[in-house]
């Protein structure tokens, strides 16, 4: 259920087109540019296929100008919002544009981020209000509630406030209870989380309706797919409930939600964090705190339900983070063994501050040498994450030991592979050109010192990373093939089998049975 407002940009001058695209942080403000066209005819073909909700187009184009495009767009989809851009102060242009329900008419030399964003936000509110009329306020209210939780909602002036906006204000001031969860959440090397979307709007509506019917101490519920990832459940409980009773009711509602997900969702059951509406914090502040605290879920089993108040405060990390830093600077096998034991303790004892500090230290060093990409997934629970961190520390030691045995050119070639393995065009020639040496010299030197060709080394490096990605269970095989530098999943599977003796899908099954 993608609730971003879809936008198409049209201008026959590529530089002007890119300027408008770069002008606005689209997704941060609830929009998504689904198409960019450099002619009216191209734009019309794209519009017929994608049906964007807003079209921003230059007027002066040839052979089909923006006004003709606008007329055809309105014929195809009368509810489309149009914004016309032009370099001319011509009243006839403005008059024709406004006759076609153009939302706004802007002069190019006056356009700015704030000016365009202001118009877009007005259109967003207008689209939300229109959706409310058509869908009984449901979808529109979801959009505005999402903006409210994300801290993006701005109430209109009192004389422009609609019943829809009053509902949002009531929720904002009514201290609603909140649940938050992510589907198949995985921790990435840069410390962020990655999760999946469930593109079945009807299922969420059905779950909302079932929980409404079966919960007596709840007045309303909204399941919101948030633009930044994850799902927030906004709840209005009976005002007479005590704090303990609210917590009990929220746990019951979370359990009902998990039961319904178990019947439909094919992934691992999510962990759910809950927060009552008893404190004085605004819902957007509690939502931000819940997203931050959700890292704690990696220490819990699938389907766990936990309170925001149960998550340990950030606190200071122990000395293990400093030990990791020192090890990364000068890896030693004796230190590695101790760090492995400490990482297991961090996972077993749910030491969130230590986990974050260790990931931060390792991410910083990987950023400097390019040994791992920032979107490298570490795992979906603390045990997997600790294992991935151990493998990165092992890799650090192995690469240092190899460097001691190899010449400068071989080390540099290995470093280049580590930084560019995702490039499907990576080859002996591209590496030699980067190092500014002949490909023949690099080929013979690499083979003499390592005992294998640079191509074989690159293949082994890619397949080793592919195994790590497969173990997370977060990606499809075609996604992994792209991430490790293969143009097609078929070729990737052939190389994987030649290297490991089994197909990628069999590797997944084999690891699952261990």
Q: What is the pLDDT of residues 251-293, one digit of tens each?
A: 999 999 999 898 888 888 999 999 987 666 888 999 999 999 9
- At 58, is the secondary structure helix, strand, or coil? strand
Q: How high is the pLDDT of residue 178?
A: 94
Q: Considering only CA atoms, give the Rg of the chain.
A: 27
Measured CA to CA, the distance from residue 477 to residue 4 in angstroms comes to: 28
- 55 preceded by a cis bond (ω within 30 of 0): no
- pLDDT-based confidence at residue 127 (cuts at 50, 70, 90): confident
Region of poorest pLDDT, from 113-122, 149-158, 173-182, 408-417 = 149-158
Our CA angle for 372, 373, 378, nearest 5°, is: 75
Pairing of strands 102-107, 193-196: unpaired
- Bridge partners (DSSP) of residue 177 are 235
Instruction: Report the C-alpha dihedral over residues 14, 20, 22, 23, rounded to 10 degrees.
Output: 160
The pLDDT of residue 513 is 44
Q: How far apart (Å, rounded) are the C-alpha atoms in residues 499 and 506? A: 14
Mean pLDDT across 215-233: 87
CA neighbor of 358 nearest in space, from 391, 323, 311: 323
Q: How many CB atoms lie within 10 A of CB 383?
A: 15
Burial class, 408, CB count within 10 angstroms (exposed 0-12 / middle 13-18 / buried 19+): exposed
- pLDDT, residue 256, reads 93
Task: State both tokens at 309.
Answer: 């108040």
Distance of CA 329 to the CA centre of its chain: 31
Residue 98, pLDDT > 70, answer no
* C-beta separation of 500 from 508 below 8 A: no
Q: 226, 232 in Cβ contact below 8 A?
A: yes
Query: Going by DSSP bridges, is the β-strand pair 377-379/193-196 parallel, antiparallel, or unpaired?
Result: unpaired
Cβ atoms of 246 and 256 within 8 Å: the answer is: no
H helix or E strand, kind and range, residue 236: strand 231-237
| 129, 164 contact by CB (below 8 A) | yes
Confidence class for position 329, pLDDT limits 50, 70, 90: confident
Is the backbone of residue 281 left (phi > 0), alpha (psi -120 to 50) or beta? beta
- Secondary structure of the chain: what % helix, strand, coil (to 5)? 60, 15, 30
Beta-strand relationship, 5-10 and 177-181:
unpaired
> Can you tell me the distance from the alpha carbon of 333 to that of 220, in angstroms, rounded to the nearest whole number?
58
DSSP state, 371?
A: S
The confidence score (pLDDT) of residue 122 equals: 86
Angle made by CA atoms 363, 367, 373, in degrees to the nearest 5:
80
Asked whether the predicted pLDDT for residue 509 surpasses 80, the reply is no
Q: State how far the Cα of 308 lies from the Cα of 319, in Å rounded to an integer.
A: 26
Q: How confident is the model at residue 230 (pLDDT cuts 50, 70, 90)?
A: very high
Element (H, E) at 348: helix 333-348
| pLDDT reported for residue 514 | 45
Beta-strand ranges (E) seen in 396-490 are none
For 371-405, what is each residue's pLDDT tens digit?
Answer: 666 677 899 999 999 999 998 898 888 877 766 67
Tell me, yes or no, if the pTM score tops 0.85: no
Q: What number of helices (H) and strands (E) belong to the chain? A: 21, 13
Tokens for 11, please give them: 């201008």
- DSSP state letter for 420: H
Return the pLDDT at 220: 83
Average pLDDT over residues 28-50: 92
Residues 6+ apart with CB under 8 A from 123: 5, 54, 81, 83, 103
pLDDT at 435: 93
Lowest-pLDDT range of 1-5, 125-129, 171-175: 1-5
User: Does residue 182 carry a pLDDT above 90?
Assistant: yes
For 468-503, write each residue's pLDDT tens digit: 788 777 788 888 999 999 989 899 999 999 988 888
d(CA 358, CA 459): 29
Q: Cβ atoms within 10 A of the Cβ of 302, count?
A: 14
pLDDT bracket for residue 57 (50, 70, 90): very high
Residue 95: C-alpha distances to residues 69, 85, 200 (Å): 16, 13, 42
3-state DSSP call for residue 465? helix
pLDDT tens digits for 455-471?
999 999 899 888 878 87
Query: What Å distances lie between residue 3 and 8, 128, 139, 165, 449, CA to CA?
Result: 16, 11, 9, 18, 55
Q: Chain-wide mean pLDDT for the chain?
A: 85
Label residue 370 by pLDDT band (50, 70, 90).
low
């Amino acid at each position: 259920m993608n609730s971003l407002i879809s936008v198409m940009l049209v201008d026959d001058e590529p530089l002007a087109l890119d300027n408008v695209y770069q002008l606005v942080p689209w997704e941060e403000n609830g929009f998504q540019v689904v198409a960019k066209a450099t002619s009216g005819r191209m734009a019309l073909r794209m519009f017929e296929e994608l049906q964007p909700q807003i079209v921003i187009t230059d007027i002066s184009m040839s052979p089909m100008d923006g006004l003709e495009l606008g007329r055809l767009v309105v014929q195809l989809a009368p509810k489309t919002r149009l914004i016309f851009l032009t370099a001319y102060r011509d009243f006839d242009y403005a008059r024709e544009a406004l006759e076609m329900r153009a939302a706004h008419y802007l002069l190019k030399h006056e356009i700015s981020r704030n000016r365009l964003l202001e118009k877009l936000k007005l259109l967003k509110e207008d689209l939300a209000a229109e959706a409310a009329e058509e869908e009984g306020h449901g979808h529109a209210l979801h959009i505005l509630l999402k903006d409210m939780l994300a801290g993006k909602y701005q109430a209109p002036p009192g004389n422009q406030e609609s019943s829809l906006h009053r509902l949002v204000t009531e929720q904002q001031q009514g201290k609603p209870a909140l649940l938050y969860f992510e589907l198949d959440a995985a921790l990435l090397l840069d410390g962020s989380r990655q999760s999946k979307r469930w593109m079945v709007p009807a299922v969420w509506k059905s779950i909302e309706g079932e929980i409404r019917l079966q919960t007596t101490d709840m007045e309303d519920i909204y399941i919101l797919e948030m633009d930044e990832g994850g799902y927030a459940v906004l709840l209005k409980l009976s005002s007479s409930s005590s704090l303990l009773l609210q917590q009990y009711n929220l746990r019951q509602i979370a359990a009902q939600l998990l039961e319904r997900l178990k019947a439909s969702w094919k992934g691992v059951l999510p962990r759910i964090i809950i927060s009552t509406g008893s404190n004085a914090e605004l819902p957007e502040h509690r939502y931000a705190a819940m997203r931050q605290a959700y890292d704690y879920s990696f220490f819990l089993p699938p389907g766990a339900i936990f309170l925001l108040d149960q998550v340990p405060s950030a606190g200071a990390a122990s000395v293990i983070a400093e030990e990791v830093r020192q090890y990364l600077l000068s890896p030693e096998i004796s230190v590695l063994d101790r760090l492995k034991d400490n990482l297991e303790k961090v996972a077993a004892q749910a030491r969130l501050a230590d986990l974050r500090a260790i990931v931060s230290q390792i991410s910083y060093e990987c950023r400097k040498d390019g040994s791992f990409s920032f979107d490298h997934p570490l795992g979906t629970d603390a045990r997997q994450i600790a294992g991935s961190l151990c493998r990165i520390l092992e890799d650090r030691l192995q690469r240092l030991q190899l460097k001691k045995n190899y010449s400068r050119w071989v080390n540099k070639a290995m470093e280049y592979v580590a930084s560019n393995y995702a490039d499907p065009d990576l080859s002996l020639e591209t590496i030699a050109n980067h190092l500014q040496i002949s490909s023949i010299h690099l080929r013979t030197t690499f083979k003499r010192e390592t005992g294998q060709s640079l191509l074989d080394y690159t293949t082994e490096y890619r397949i080793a990373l592919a195994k790590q990605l497969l173990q997370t269970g977060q990606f499809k095989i075609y996604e992994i093939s792209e991430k490790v530098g293969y143009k097609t999943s078929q070729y990737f599977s052939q190389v994987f089998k030649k290297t490991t003796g089994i197909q990628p899908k069999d590797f997944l099954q084999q690891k699952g049975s261990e």
